[in-house]
Every structure is written in structure tokens, then in C-alpha cells.
Chain A
């Protein structure tokens, strides 16, 4: 072998030569200091490259292809049902607490007002325990001095305790009815709505996780 077999040095290092090629190269190396030096340099270069640190990605690159946990399906179903149930409760609670839309209202005063008996409505509103009209204002001098309470006259007019009848206008009666603070029926509608939204969010997240899987 008269020429330097440079092209074979790397393959020799990597044990990728045939037996004959390897034997011929070794015979050359035995008498060639230059090729031995180059072989050493290539070996060192190879070790340097092999010793380079692993470069880590900034995030996980493994796609989620594994099946989602079985309980996620239950969560999705339960979340959907709960969303519907709480939406129903929200609507029911809103209707009950507003008292409107069903005709006649929910209190005696509202029913009287809806039938045109404004004076009766005003009177009932005034007698309602939660009524602002019935509650004497602490600063009202007249009421504080024990003014006679109104009573309902058969004629449908609001009469005072002194016997003088006084007719009540529809506007005033409605105003009186409006001032009645209706009692709260169950938790507030907002609470039902909030729970319904939370259930919907849980069901949506479970659905998305299941879809990805």
C-alpha cells in the first residue's frame, strides 16, 4: 500500500471495514506514523462529538395519543346532566322569585292588583310584613305618634281610621305593591346559574380531553 488510505481510517475506527480491508490497513499503519497520528485525531474527534451534551427541548414533544381515563367519560356525562339540572333550577328560581309572567303574581297584593282591586292591593301591600309601606319609618313624626292604621272599606276604597274614605289611584296601588319585598324562595338564581356554568366547564374540559385522546 503505497498511498495513505485516508478514506478508510474512519471506517476502520467504526469497525466497518471488511476483514481484508482491515488487515491491509493495519499493515500500512504499522509502518506509517502519519496515518497513525491521523487515526488518533479522528478517534479523539469522534469521542469529543460523542461526549456532546444532550440538547433538551423546552417542552414535552410527545403527543397525547394514549386513551383517556375511563372516569373522564363519567365526568363528562355527569357534568352535562348537572348543567341541565342547574339551568332548570336557575330558571325555576328566577320565575318564582320574580313572580311575574305567570299571571296574578305570588302575593295577595299582586293578585288583587292584577284583578283591578287597587285599593285592596294597596292595603294588602301595606299589611305585608315585609312591606316598606307598613314599616313605620323611625323619622316619621306622624307614624311615631301612633297614627291610626288604615283599614279596607267594602267599597274598595282605602279608608283611614277616622272614617273618611279615600280612593286610591291604580298608580299608587301599583307603587305600593312594588314596594313589597317578596320573600326569597330557595337559593338565589345566581347561585344556580354559577353552579350550572361550573358544571358546563367541567363537562367541556372532559370532552376536549376525550376528543384529543
Chain B
């Protein structure tokens, strides 16, 4: 039974087919949401709510990418959670824009190349921390591109943004992540 078959059956009200679809995307969806709101109960609630919302409206789904549609529902809820936390003062309104995503930090001489630190648990932790410093909507767009492989057009639909905005967000987020790693001692490819 393919995902396309499952989608057709789910649209006709087949709950088991929907469960099969949801299971196919569960981990990716949770992983994405966890990198926006942080791993834990909030991220789990967001994903579960997104699934329930999707189940209630899957009969009206007419798009071509169920995955993109699921991500749109889930990321909207995740962004809402982040905004609610900011309103409550649990988070700063936005990480200070200190040029992390607009200018190129100069790597220190003698540091390891990024490719060298790419392997290993510590390197992954460094990348996670670098991502956490990226403003949430830029991070969202970058993850949708680099981790999930969505096209710019799909990301524009998922985030309800213009293509130009998507391009700008992805570039700024990638540059910010690169600069964070530079700040950790990476010397870059030109070092």
C-alpha cells in the first residue's frame, strides 16, 4: 500500500490509512518542530495537535504534497508556541541581530576545517547550538530546505511567504549558522 493510496483512502475517511500516513511523517515532523520549540512535551503536543487537525480536514485536502501540508500545519502551531512564549516573557522577542546572518565572520587561523569537525557527537552538538541562535523563522526555512529537502516554492507555500522572502531567510540562516561555527574556532575553507 503506497502513501498515495493511503492519502486517497484517508481523504475518504479511512482512519487507518491516515494513521499510516501520519506514522510515515511522525519522526520528521517531530524533529522539525523540536528544533523550533525545543524537544519535549511542547513539541509532542504540537505534532499531535497537528495530526488531529489534519485528520479533521484531510477530506478537504486538494494539494499535491501531503507532507508539505502536514508541515505547514505543524510549523504554524510551532511558531504560535514560540510567539506565546515571547508574549509571556519566557523568551526574548527575537535573538539580537548582531549581523550573524548578514556579514561574513572571519575565521581564526589554525582552526579545524568545518569538514573535519563534521563528524562526531560534539560536532553535531555545535551545529545544533549554531542553529538555535538563528531567528526562528529563518531557522524554520533553513530546516525545511536542508533537512527536509523542500523546494523554495514549497517552502513559500508552507510558510505563506513570498519566494524572495524564502531566499533571504534561507541565506541569512545558513550564513548565521556558518558564522556561529566560525565563532567556535572553525577556520572555514579559506583558512
Nearest CB in chain B: distance from A55 CB, A: 4
Give the A-B pair count, Cβ closer than 8 A: 130
Chain B residues with CB below 8 A from A58, complex form:
44
Q: How large is the interface on B (under 10, 10 to 19, 20 to 34, 35 or more residues)?
A: 35 or more
* Mask of B48-66 contacts with A, CB within 8 angstroms, 1/0: 1001100100000000000
Bound form: Cα–Cα A38–B145 in Å: 19
Q: Is the CB of A10 within 8 A of B167?
A: yes
Task: List the B residue with the shortest CB-CB distance to A7.
Answer: B171
Asked if B137 is at the interface of the complex by the 8 Å CB criterion, the answer is no
The answer to whether A62 and B19 touch across the interface, beta carbons within 8 angstroms, is: yes
**Interface 1/0s, chain B 6-20, versus A by CB < 8 A?**
000000001110110
Report how far A162 CA is from B123 CA in the complex, Å: 109
Stretch in A64-72, A85-93, A103-111 with 4+ CB within 8 Å of B: A64-72
Given A9-B171, A52-B128, A57-B43, does the pair A45, B177 have CB atoms closer than 8 Å? yes
How many chain A residues touch the partner (CB < 8 A)? Answer: 39
* A97 to B75 alpha-carbon distance, docked (Å): 67
Query: In the complex the two chains form, what is the Cα distance from A48 to B34 in whole Å?
Result: 18
* Chain B residues whose CB sits within 8 angstroms of the CB of A10 once the complex forms: 167, 170-171, 174-175
Contacts of A51 in B (CB 8 A): 118, 124
Instruction: Tell me, yes or no, whether A213 is within 8 Å of chain B by CB.
Output: yes
Residue contact B19 to A41, C-beta cutoff 8 Å: no
B178 at the interface (CB under 8 A from A): yes
**B1 lies within 8 A of chain A by Cβ:** no
B71 to chain A, nearest CB (A): 14
- Cβ of A211 within 8 Å of any chain B Cβ, yes or no, is no
**Is the CB–CB distance between A62 and B146 below 8 Å?**
no
Specify the main secondary structure of chain B where it touches its partner: helix
Q: Using a CB-CB cutoff of 8 Å, which residues 52-102 of chain A contact chain B?
A: 52-67
* A65/B114 contact (C-beta < 8 A), A40-B189, A50-B147, A56-B30 known: no
**For residue B22, which residues in chain A have a CB less than 8 angstroms away from its CB?**
61-63
Cβ of A12 to closest chain B Cβ, rounded Å: 10
Answer yes or no: A42 CB below 8 A from chain B CBs: yes
Contact (Cβ within 8 A) B147 A52: yes
In the bound complex, do residue B146 and residue A46 qualify as a contact, i.e. CB atoms below 8 Å apart? yes
Contact A61–B15 (Cβ < 8 Å) = no
For residue B39, which residue of chain A has the nearest CB? A55
Are B114 and A41 interface neighbours, CB within 8 A? yes
Chain B proximity of A61: nearest CB distance (Å)? 5
Interface members, chain B 144-171 (any A CB < 8 Å): 145-147, 151-152, 167-168, 170-171
State which of B15, B27, B177 has its C-beta within 8 Å of the C-beta of A56: B27
Give B16's nearest chain A residue, CB to CB.
A66
Which chain B residue has the least Cβ–Cβ distance from A47?
Answer: B118
How far apart sit A49 and B118, CA to CA, in the bound complex (Å)?
Answer: 10
Complex alpha-carbon distance, A50 and B170, angstroms: 13
| Interface of B toward A, CB cutoff 8 Å | 14-16, 18-19, 22-23, 26-31, 34-35, 39, 43-44, 47-48, 51-52, 55, 104, 114-115, 118, 123-124, 127-128, 131, 142-143, 145-147, 151-152, 167-168, 170-171, 174-175, 177-178, 181, 188-190
Q: 20 A–B contact pairs at CB < 8 A?
A: A9-B171, A10-B174, A11-B170, A11-B171, A14-B145, A14-B170, A33-B190, A37-B189, A42-B178, A45-B178, A48-B118, A50-B146, A52-B147, A54-B31, A55-B34, A57-B26, A57-B47, A62-B26, A63-B55, A66-B16
Report, nearest first, the 7 A-B pairs whose CB atoms are least far apart: A66-B16, A37-B190, A65-B15, A66-B15, A10-B171, A40-B189, A49-B146
